[in-house]
Structure 1
């Protein structure tokens, strides 16, 4: 039986189309439709309920030691009030999950994990913890709202005077319209925006305040459909698509978040010795058809890879996809074919991201 976020009744009241997703009933779209929601985020602003995401706190004198051992990025010089992205690898170098770490202080880190993986991630962290440290799963107590788009700052600043000014930074214990929240300048859309974490009991009140404040700025509620088209245009990887337990971060172009020169971390030895034979690329469809995930990619008669995500890009008005292919075919402009329902559709390898503000 699917769970419900604190905003479930709110979604129903504004005609959200609810679907099962990652163990929750979530809105895939509202009455304006996915295209209108996508356009609102690119040109004005959109509001998402992402309360299905997981939140875990790592605390104690050995918190940093554990964070650095569990994750492939390096958190040694990280400052309080900043956020950092990282894969979390298994011993073979595959990705257990990708997540964002918020440093609260030298002995406390707030970790945001993918909704479908939160139980697995928590168990993995507990199984590999060592020293003076505690991991605590707060997912059931915390709601998360994402305000995304060019007008996000203008809207939120009318409710909050303490906004983080740098990308991937945050402020904790902020007063947002009389409610206490953690506000970070992060997002999953390719636009400027904020993610707001607060108590479940306050989520509906904040949603209503934001919608009211943003009405004059064209703010729309947005669902999972627009969230996916937006992140794909921005070439942001999604767990279970561009990465999984068998795909390493080096194969999916996340080398920037893998610090092989730091002390031991889970998966380091495997990544050090891996010969990377495939890589993530962008595809722009030239022929007729829309490419989706898990479709074979060919160069002439040779299968060279598989698509990981695909959609019709509302911003570019073109079919796009990401794929994992053999490295020798990664050059920009290379023509390939994707098998779509038994027929070959021509595509061209293009630079990622597809869209950049």
Structure 2
């Protein structure tokens, strides 16, 4: 059996009492206390996540912009070194290769932050479609060049501000800053006002040699603000309440960004015939035949991935993600439904094991972000 990979932070969160699991070949914390407690801490105070397992792929060279414009749906020509860009890579049929965030770290140099499970697949996909020579475009996996921490919650700014003289109030949503000096640390960091929880917060990218020190400092300096380390369990319930997609559930090679309500990152008019554009154009004009929606259970029962959704005993789709919402105290889920049944207020049934339970289609997100 292949040994599980560990992030630089691993020794620290083991000391913090983490219960770890195998997540796509990484030994990562599923929880430190309880999922509900960690969820509440992030919603009301602050949560610290180690997300260093997220894949990082560097694209550089004089043709890197042209190459990435062909590979992604958003308009990368709008990106500057002070911003982050959420985007999608698609197959020719419009299905999703991955969703990702792109940073411009220097002229003709970009870092793609991708889903951990997709890192090798994405790397191969990029290489397979790279028509430029090595002098024009270079592609390199740089996951281990960074420790990536996410500090999320209403107290996140106050905590992080204790570590830097940079005015964090000036940093807006999806903006980033490079070369941030943290007190007592030898190497500068990059921070972005991004996250995966529906709360205000930051993602911090720093050299691995400073990673454990930063983790400890944030937990120490955030004690007054009620900071807690957070595992994968609460990360999932937080993103689900916020209606944020997870690759392999709301996005996949069979599910297009149009079906997943990601129209806002599909720039059909950017002047580039990117991969998947033809299918996505047709879906925009005709409307997708399926759509990701929110569902709320009326009867007792938690919808789980793969549960069928029915109307009049006919299957109209399936649940992509589901949980009992710690914030709303209700069972909620996201589902991929035939578009004709995707209207808010539509009454449906969810097959949960051997029971058929009443539910209703509701707007996304469940939790205001």
The normalised TM-score by structure 2 is 0.94
Q: Distance in 1 between matches of 2:73 and 2:317?
A: 26
SS of the aligned residue for 2:188 comes to strand
Matched, 1:85 2:86: yes
SS of the aligned residue for 2:255 comes to coil
Per-residue CA distance 1:219-271 (angstroms, 9 max, x = gap):
00000000000000000000000011111111111111111122110111222
Matched, 1:212 2:233: no
Q: Distance in 1 between matches of 2:298 and 2:102?
A: 39
Q: Which position in structure 2 is the counterpart of 1:183?
A: 191
RMSD between aligned alpha carbons? 1.2
Matches within 5 A, 1:97-112: 97-112=98-113
Deviation of residue 27 (structure 1)? 0.2
Matches within 5 A, 1:232-243: 232-243=240-251
Q: Which position in structure 2 is the counterpart of 1:245?
A: 253
Per-residue CA distance 1:276-317 (angstroms, 9 max, x = gap):
211010001000111111100001211100000000000000
Deviation of residue 140 (structure 1)? 2.0
Q: Distance in 2 between matches of 1:22 and 1:153?
A: 31
Deviation of residue 210 (structure 1)? 0.3
Q: Alignment partner for residue 136 of structure 1, among 104, 123, 140?
A: 140
Per-residue CA distance 1:165-204 (angstroms, 9 max, x = gap):
1100111121123242111110000000000111222111
Q: Distance in 2 between matches of 1:291 and 1:259?
A: 33
**Is the contact made by 1:293 and 1:310 (CA closer than 8 Å) also made in structure 2?**
yes
Matches within 5 A, 1:29-44: 29-30=31-32, 32-44=33-45
**Is the contact made by 1:56 and 1:112 (CA closer than 8 Å) also made in structure 2?**
yes
Matches within 5 A, 1:111-150: 111-131=112-132, 132-150=136-154
Per-residue CA distance 1:144-165 (angstroms, 9 max, x = gap):
1000000000000000122361
Unaligned runs of 5+ in 1: none
Q: Which position in structure 2 is the counterpart of 1:166?
A: 172
Matched, 1:16 2:18: yes
Aligned residues: 356
The normalised TM-score by structure 1 is 0.97
- Of the structure 1 ranges 330-339 and 72-81, higher mean CA displacement relative to structure 2 is found in 72-81
Q: Which position in structure 2 is the counterpart of 1:345?
A: 357
Deviation of residue 97 (structure 1)? 0.4
Q: Distance in 2 between matches of 1:199 and 1:77?
A: 27
Per-residue CA distance 1:9-43 (angstroms, 9 max, x = gap):
1111111001000210000001x311111001101
Q: Distance in 2 between matches of 1:302 and 1:265?
A: 37
Matched, 1:192 2:194: no
- Of the structure 1 ranges 76-85 and 209-218, higher mean CA displacement relative to structure 2 is found in 76-85
Q: Which position in structure 2 is the counterpart of 1:152?
A: 156
Q: Distance in 1 between matches of 2:342 and 2:278?
A: 26
Q: Distance in 1 between matches of 2:57 and 2:165?
A: 27
Deviation of residue 356 (structure 1)? 1.1
Q: Distance in 2 between matches of 1:280 and 1:87?
A: 16
Deviation of residue 80 (structure 1)? 2.2
SS of the aligned residue for 2:264 comes to helix
- Of the structure 1 ranges 316-325 and 297-306, higher mean CA displacement relative to structure 2 is found in 297-306
Q: Which position in structure 2 is the counterpart of 1:222?
A: 230
Runs of 4+ in 1 over 4 A off after TM superposition: none
SS of the aligned residue for 2:181 comes to strand
SS of the aligned residue for 2:74 comes to coil
Matches within 5 A, 1:301-312: 301-312=313-324
